[in-house]
Structure 1
Amino acid sequence: MQANNFAGKTIGLMVASGFDEDQFIAIQRAMLAKTAKLKIISRDAGLTNSWNGTGWGMSYPVDSTLSTTLAIDYDALIIPTGARHVDTLMNEVHAKRVLRAFLREGMPVMMQGEAIRLLDLVEDHAARSIDAKDENAEVAVDKNLVQIPLAVKLESGLEKLNVVMVASADESQAA
């Protein structure tokens, strides 16, 4: 990444138990290397569990529950891949509320892999979601929304999110 637009920013990682552990750790490492403040937002209170491909993985402390989360408290939202956690979030009214708030306010959002399905919760959002499993798909950017298909490296999506963070900061300064 060229400029570091994550430094000092508060980034929410929205999950439910069953998120992909490897991708979560990769996001965590990348954001911590850029000195971002990461906050885990989950429907689970206390701890939330990852999925390591064959079974339950590590547990992670939750910073904020979905039911109490406000978009205004964050600079960006990242939703990692993981079919199990996406299935849970699809049925979570507060996940819909939080995602809609980020998109409505033009705040940066990055969705990875299966998480792209969550756009189905936001009927009024104009972005067309990409097919997360399409091996020929590329990172898609629509204003403040970055969608990363499964076949694309996380770093490519984070670079796009970095650019979106610049545009978002410019718009908020202009307002």
Structure 2
Amino acid sequence: MSKNKLDNKTIAFLVTDGFEQVELTKPWDAIKKAGATVHLVSIKSGKVQGVHHEKQGDQFDVDKVVGDVSASDYDGLVLPGGVFNPDALRVNDEAVDFVRDFFKQHKPVAAICHGPWTLIEAGVVDGRRVTSWPSLKTDLTNAGANWVDEECVCDEGLVTSRNPDDLPAFCDKAIEEFAEGKHAKQTV
């Protein structure tokens, strides 16, 4: 095997304005360091605005607009959190379809903090063991998920974590799942 676990892999990061910046930058850097090509995908072109909790963060250049790409273009997906980001993504049909297609194609997905809100809208959490920011517990449970309060949870290629404190475990597990590839039992 190559020195870099993710050589020849391309990973999408789906965000829009209001994403928790560190939940993009830490996994982005770790996944790139592991050898993957990474694309910042958004529901709009140009730049997207990061946040540090409620304070404005940096702006980031969008590589691809979600309507112009397909899950088949990627080997995995990362969904950073932040409150505004997943709330806007989950009402965008193209973003929701993009997320759902990763599950239809049995590809690994990693979502942290509020990121699982988009998974609920995509209809992919029923029967899955997941974690998230605590305020999503009821939403995830109502969508059929088995919510647990753990640092990092992996269920058939779906990696979830609670908050930025969990980023080291989240990044390690996401890289492991992206390296492993498709999961036959990961279905919608």
Given candidates 174, 177, 180, the residue that maps to 1:161 is 174
Partner SS state of residue 57, structure 2: strand
Q: Which deviates further from its counterpart, 35-44 or 158-167?
A: 158-167
Answer yes or no: is the 8 Å Cα contact 2:111–2:160 preserved in 1: yes
Provide TM-score, normalisation by structure 1.
0.85
Aligned to 1:27: 27
Q: Deviations over 1:116-143 (max 9, x none)?
A: 1222112255443634134942311111
Aligned to 1:40: 40
Aligned to 1:57: 57
Given candidates 151, 160, 165, the residue that maps to 1:147 is 160
Stretches of 4+ aligned residues off by more than 3 angstroms: 124-127
Matched, 1:70 2:83: no
**C-alpha distance in 1 between matches for 2:40 and 2:164:** 25
Partner SS state of residue 77, structure 2: strand
**C-alpha distance in 2 between matches for 1:89 and 1:62:** 15
Aligned to 2:142: none
Matched, 1:100 2:113: no
Aligned pair in 2 of structure 1 residues 6, 49: CA closer, same or farther (>3 Å)? same
Answer yes or no: is the 8 Å Cα contact 2:53–2:82 preserved in 1: no
Deviation at 1:163, TM superposition (A): 2.7
Give the residue type in structure 2 aligned to 1:98: F
Provide TM-score, normalisation by structure 2.
0.80
Q: Which deviates further from its counterpart, 46-55 or 110-119?
A: 46-55
Aligned to 2:12: 12
Q: Deviations over 1:142-171 (max 9, x none)?
A: 112111122752121222223323432697
Partner SS state of residue 11, structure 1: strand
Partner SS state of residue 141, structure 1: strand
Answer yes or no: is the 8 Å Cα contact 2:103–2:124 preserved in 1: no
Give the residue type in structure 2 aligned to 1:167: E
Give the residue type in structure 2 aligned to 1:42: S
**C-alpha distance in 2 between matches for 1:87 and 1:129:** 22
Q: Which deviates further from its counterpart, 126-135 or 84-93?
A: 126-135
Deviation at 1:86, TM superposition (A): 0.9
In structure 2, stretches of 5+ residues that fail to align are: 135-147
In structure 1, stretches of 5+ residues that fail to align are: none
Count of residues paired in the alignment: 169
Aligned to 2:144: none
